[in-house]
C-alpha cells in the first residue's frame, strides 16, 4: 500500500513548485505547475486494468485517470492556479468536479449546468482555477457518477498551506469500497432499484489507496498528519484507531480547533475528508488496529498500524496542532435569511404526491426514489427551477431535514458551510465543511455566505441517491 508521496517524490515536488523547475525532473506525474507556468497537467480518463487485490487475485478492469486508481495526487500551494486538461477516452461522456474547492462556477465540472459534457472518444476540457483554501480536496466525474466513480475515477487534490505545519509525515489515505465478483471484476449491477432505495451501492471490498490494505508502517512516537478521504459511492466509515488518541484538525479540508472525535470515531460519509493528527502511541514492534465501527455488529479491521522496531521519539507528542484558518467568509448569523429543506423518499418513506408529479417525465435512467422539498431530479435534469434563489453576499441558515430512514451526506458545491446545530442542539465548536452527514430522521442546520455566483448543485453524496432524485441546484446571483 502506498501512502502519500514518498519523501523523495515530495522533495522533487517542492522543487517543481519553485521557480527553478527543470524539465529534466520527473514532475509530470506530481503536480500542476504553479505561478505563471501555463502548461496544464493532463488527466486522461480511460479504461485500465489494475491490481486491487494483489497476488494471487486477478486484476480488475476499471476506469482510471492516467491508468491509476486512485488517480494522480494533484498538489498545489494555496492560492496557486491548478491547470488540468481532461482527456476523455472513455466510451461515455464525463466531466471533472473539484469537490470542496470554492472555484468559479464555470470550472465546477457539472455537465449541462456549468459546462457541456466532455465527449467520449477523445473530447477534452481545460480546467484552470485558483485554490483559495488549503486542505484536502478531491476530484471525480459528475456525469453518471454512480457508475464512473465506482469504476475507479477519483483522485485527491491537496492544497498546501503557505507554511505547512511541521509533522513527521503527511499521509493520504484514500478509502474506497468496491462491489467485486469472484473473478475480481467490478459487479456491473449499477443503479439497481434496491441500492437506490436503500443505503446505496455498498460493496464487499474496502481498499486503501487502491489496494487491499494490510499493514501500514509507522514508528513509535511518530507524528502523522493523516488525510482521510472517502471516495466510496455509499459506504460510511467510522474509524477507531485502537490504542491511539487521534485529534481532528480539519473537516472537509477546513481547519478546526483540534479535538478528539466524538466517541473516538472519525466518521466519514461518502465525499467527506478528515485531517487527523495521529501521534503513534504503540511501543516499538507493536501492532494496533484501525477498525471501521460504523456498523458496530459488523466491525472489521481496515488496516494495521505496524510500529517498527525503532522509535521516532521517546514519547508521543502531546501539543495540539492548529492549522492556519482558510479565508472562508464568516456568516452573519444576526442577519441570516432562513430556509428549510426536507429530504424524503427511500424504502420505508413515501414519495409524496407532489414529488411523484414532478418526477414524471424525468429523463434519468434511474427511478425517482427520493425528493428534495418534494422535487425529484436525476442526472442534471434542469427543467426544474433552482430550489433556492440566494442573494450574493447574504448569509443563509439552511435547516436540512432528513425525513427518511437512511443516512445522507448532503453536499453543496461552490461554498463551505458552518455546521450550526444537530436536532436543535448547537454544536460545541465551530466546524466548517462542504458535506454534512445526516443520520436517519434527523435535522442539521448549516450557515454560509452565498458569495460565489452561479448555479450550484446541492445533493446527497450517496451516489445512488443522487442518481435517483436527491439532487437540486441553488442559484446565487
- Which residues bind to ligand C2O, rule: CB under 6 A? 97, 99, 140, 142, 271, 411, 413, 457, 459, 461
Cα distance between residue 176 and residue 97, in whole Å: 18
Taking residue 311's Cβ as centre, other Cβ atoms within 10 Å add up to 15
* Stretch near Cu ion under the rule CB under 5 A, chosen from 1-9, 63-71, 172-180, 405-413: 405-413
Q: Which CB atom, from 97 or from 227, has the smaller least distance to ligand C2O?
A: 97
Q: Provide, rounded to whole angstroms, the least separation between the CB of residue 283 and Cu ion.
A: 42
3-state secondary structure of 311: strand
Q: Which does 460 bind (CB under 5 to 8 A by kind): ligand C2O, Cu ion, none?
A: Cu ion
Instruction: Name the closest residue to ligand C2O (Cβ).
Output: 99
Helix (H) or strand (E) holding 459: strand 454-460
Question: How far is C-alpha 311 from the geometric centre of its chain's CA atoms?
Answer: 33
* Stretch near Cu ion under the rule CB under 5 A, chosen from 67-75, 279-287, 377-385, 464-472: 464-472
Cα distance between residue 283 and residue 276, in whole Å: 20
Q: Is 12 in the site for Cu ion (CB under 5 A)?
A: no
CB 372 within 8 A of CB 470: yes
Cα distance between residue 251 and residue 234, in whole Å: 19
Q: Provide, rounded to whole angstroms, the least separation between the CB of residue 460 and Cu ion.
A: 3
Instruction: Give the one residue of 83, 227, 312, 465 binding Cu ion; rule: CB under 5 A.
Output: 465
* Stretch near Cu ion under the rule CB under 5 A, chosen from 318-326, 403-411, 412-420, 447-455: 403-411
Cα distance between residue 468 and residue 190, in whole Å: 12
* Stretch near Cu ion under the rule CB under 5 A, chosen from 102-110, 184-192, 201-209, 454-462: 454-462
Closest by alpha carbon to 209, among 221, 195, 226? 226
Q: Which CB atom, from 57 or from 129, has the smaller least distance to ligand C2O?
A: 129
Cα distance between residue 294 and residue 297, in whole Å: 9
Helix (H) or strand (E) holding 356: helix 353-359
Q: Which does 408 bind (CB under 5 to 8 A by kind): Cu ion, ligand C2O, none?
A: Cu ion
Q: Provide, rounded to whole angstroms, the least separation between the CB of residue 99 and ligand C2O.
A: 4
Taking residue 38's Cβ as centre, other Cβ atoms within 10 Å add up to 9
Helix (H) or strand (E) holding 157: strand 155-160
Q: Which CB atom, from 82 or from 305, has the smaller least distance to ligand C2O?
A: 82
CB 332 within 8 A of CB 395: yes
Q: Which does 97 bind (CB under 5 to 8 A by kind): ligand C2O, Cu ion, none?
A: ligand C2O
Q: Is 460 in the site for Cu ion (CB under 5 A)?
A: yes
Q: Is 462 in the site for Cu ion (CB under 5 A)?
A: yes
Q: Which does 75 bind (CB under 5 to 8 A by kind): ligand C2O, Cu ion, none?
A: none
Q: Provide, rounded to whole angstroms, the least separation between the CB of residue 228 and ligand C2O.
A: 15
Cα distance between residue 406 and residue 347, in whole Å: 8
Residues binding Cu ion (CB under 5 A) = 408, 460, 462, 465
Amino acid at each position: 500500500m502506498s501512502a502519500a508521496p514518498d519523501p523523495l517524490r515530495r522533495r522533487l515536488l517542492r522543487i517543481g513548485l519553485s521557480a527553478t523547475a527543470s524539465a529534466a525532473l520527473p514532475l509530470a506525474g506530481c503536480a500542476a505547475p504553479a505561478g505563471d507556468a501555463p502548461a496544464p497537467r493532463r488527466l486522461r480518463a480511460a479504461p485500465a486494468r489494475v491490481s486491487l487485490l494483489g497476488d494471487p487475485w486477478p486484476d480488475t478492469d476499471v476506469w482510471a485517470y492516467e491508468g491509476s486508481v486512485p488517480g494522480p495526487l494533484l498538489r498545489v500551494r494555496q492560492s496557486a492556479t491548478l491547470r488540468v486538461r481532461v482527456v476523455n477516452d472513455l466510451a461515455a461522456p464525463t466531466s471533472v468536479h473539484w469537490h470542496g474547492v470554492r472555484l468559479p462556477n464555470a470550472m465546477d465540472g457539472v455537465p449541462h449546468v456549468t459546462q457541456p459534457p466532455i465527449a467520449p472518444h477523445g473530447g477534452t476540457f481545460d480546467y484552470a482555477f485558483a485554490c483559495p483554501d488549503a486542505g484536502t480536496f478531491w476530484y471525480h466525474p459528475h456525469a453518471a457518477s454512480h457508475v464512473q466513480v465506482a469504476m475507479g475515477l477519483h483522485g485527491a487534490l491537496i492544497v498546501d498551506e503557505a507554511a505547512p505545519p511541521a509533522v513527521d509525515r503527511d499521509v493520504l489515505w484514500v478509502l474506497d469500497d468496491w462491489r467485486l465478483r469472484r473473478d475480481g471484476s467490478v459487479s456491473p449491477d449499477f443503479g439497481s432499484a434496491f441500492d437506490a432505495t436503500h443505503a446505496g451501492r455498498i460493496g464487499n471490498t474496502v481498499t486503501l489507496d487502491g489496494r487491499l490494505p494490510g499493514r501500514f508502517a509507522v514508528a513509535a512516537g511518530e507524528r502523522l498528519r493523516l488525510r482521510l478521504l472517502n471516495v466510496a459511492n455509499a459506504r460510511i466509515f467510522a474509524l477507531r484507531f485502537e490504542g491511539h488518541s487521534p485529534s481532528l484538525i480539519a473537516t472537509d479540508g477546513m481547519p478546526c480547533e483540534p479535538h478528539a472525535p466524538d466517541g473516538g470515531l472519525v466518521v466519514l460519509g461518502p465525499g467527506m475528508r478528515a485531517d487527523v493528527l495521529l501521534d503513534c502511541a504503540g511501543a516499538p514492534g507493536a501492532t494496533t488496529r484501525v477498525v471501521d465501527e460504523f456498523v458496530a455488529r459488523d466491525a472489521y479491521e481496515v488496516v494495521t498500524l505496524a510500529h517498527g522496531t525503532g522509535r521516532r521519539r521517546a514519547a508521543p507528542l502531546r501539543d495540539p496542532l492548529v492549522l492556519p484558518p482558510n479565508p472562508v467568509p464568516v456568516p452573519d448569523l444576526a442577519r441570516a435569511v432562513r430556509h428549510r429543506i426536507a429530504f424524503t423518499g427511500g424504502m420505508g418513506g413515501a414519495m409524496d404526491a407532489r414529488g411523484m408529479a414532478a418526477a414524471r417525465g424525468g429523463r434519468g435512467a434511474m427511478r425517482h426514489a427520493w425528493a428534495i422539498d418534494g422535487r425529484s431530479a436525476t442526472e442534471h435534469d434542469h427543467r426544474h427551477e433552482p430550489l433556492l434563489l440566494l442573494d450574493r453576499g447574504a448569509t443563509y441558515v439552511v435547516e436540512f431535514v432528513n425525513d427518511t430512514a437512511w443516512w445522507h451526506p448532503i453536499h453543496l458545491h461552490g461554498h463551505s458551510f458552518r455546521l450550526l446545530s444537530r436536532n436543535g442542539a448547537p454544536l460545541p465548536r465551530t466546524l466548517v465543511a462542504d458535506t454534512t452527514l445526516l443520520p436517519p430522521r434527523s435535522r442539521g442546520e448549516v450557515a454560509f455566505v452565498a458569495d460565489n455566483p452561479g448555479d450550484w448543485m446541492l445533493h446527497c453524496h450517496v451516489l445512488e441517491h443522487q442518481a435517483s432524485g436527491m439532487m437540486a441546484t441553488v442559484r446565487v446571483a
